[in-house]
Structure 1
């Protein structure tokens, strides 16, 4: 049985529409998908009016706390001494959020206790993934 980490956080939306100063979001880490972090935003915080979840590398989040990281759909960088900016790039535009760095560090420390960096491969079930991939190909 796997322990999944879910940590509620409050983020400040930058140039959001509809206009909201802060919104709740959830950071999620599942050791069965050891390289990934999920960040979910509730329906009222999105342009579509539906819940939106982004998946990106845990390594990206770790790197982006101390220096700008990422060149794709998700980018992370420090902002001042106590905030981190996450940018989410999509066809519809760019969403930027500020989050307290201490909250990200706490989340990453909890994930690190479950799956230390460099040992992610030990938590992959390659046989199950390959079976699912081959089943879907038929």
Structure 2
């Protein structure tokens, strides 16, 4: 099994203007960074015209499909029937997207097949990470 899982999802981008826009986004999970999930939005879905990627805890995404989760830059909560809202807060503003909960659960199931919850620490390379941190200090 590949150490990286990617899944395309349709995200409904909610903005201050009337209506919503559907854009493609990519969810990514890498066994080398077992606690994190990344979500990338394509250039045409951003104000800057460049791809934007957010990293946040896999546990946050999982909790947020059932109840409100997160206090900081990323917040996740259920919305209506079959949708989950992801809110991304930055100095430039807030981005809010709706994603089908079934798509998120399918993605999470695949990540748990790769790295079961509670087993993330078994996939960390602490020695390598520490060496990288200290590399420039020497």
* TM bucket normalised to smaller: over 0.9
Unmatched 5+ stretches in structure 1:
none
1:16 to partner: Cα distance: 6.3
Query: In the TM superposition, what whole-angstrom CA distance separates every residue of 1:66-90 from its partner, at most 9, and x where no partner exists?
Result: 0000000000000012000000000
Stretches of structure 2 that go unaligned for 5 or more consecutive residues are none
Per-residue deviation, 1:137: 2.6
Paired residues in the alignment total 137
**Can you list the C-alpha shifts for 1:24-79, whole angstroms capped at 9, x where unaligned?**
00000001000000000000100111000000000000000000000000000000
- 2:106 paired residue number: 106
Q: If the length of structure 1 is used for normalisation, what is the TM-score?
A: 0.95
Distance 1:67 1:20, change over 3 A: closer
**1:71 aligned onto 2:80:** no
Of the structure 1 ranges 35-44 and 19-28, higher mean CA displacement relative to structure 2 is found in: 19-28
Q: CA RMSD in A?
A: 1.6
**Distance in structure 2 (CA, Å) of the matches to 1:117 and 1:16:** 37
CA distance 1:82–1:4, change in 2 (3 Å):
same
